Amino acid sequence: MAKKLVGTMKLQVKAGQANPSPPVGPALGQRGINIMEFCKAFNAKTADMEPGAPCPTVISYYQDKSFTMDIKTPPASYYLKKAAKVNSGAKTPSRETVGTISAKQLREIAEAKMVDLSANDVEQAMKIIMGSAKSMGIEVK
């Protein structure tokens, strides 16, 4: 017999740093999900990722208090800020440039994000990431 899905929720948790403190603990606790079990499973799955990278996570929880999680790659903005060595995007992106990245770095980011993007090949993924860079005020050279 299949488990009955109660609901899904989305959280953004830093890789390898899930702990029962807010915002993770209360969000899971009010839905009846075992917080420590989630933290251990999440930290184990993200152990190979860069520590501290924000990971969007979709959690599906069931009537028997079990859960499944789908951990996605960090957002493109995280990779772009890291590559351009900036803390935040531009206040006025179309008029201001806060940093630059090379085409090689753009390709690396596109390859890393390929699993989560709706692109058929790396060239299309690069266009998507280039759009994100432009909207952040990061120039691609």
pLDDT per position as a tens digit, 14-59: 888 888 878 788 888 888 888 888 888 888 888 888 888 888 889 8
Full-model pTM? 0.76
Residue 103 sits in a domain of what CATH number?
1.10.10.250
Same domain, 89 and 58: no
Q: Which residues contact 32 (CB under 8 A, 6 or more apart)?
A: 61, 65
Burial of 129 (0-12, 13-18, 19+ CB in 10 A): buried
For 85-120, the pLDDT digits (tens) are 888 777 887 788 888 888 888 888 888 888 777 778
Same domain, 11 and 36: yes
Structural domain boundaries enclosing 14: 5-71
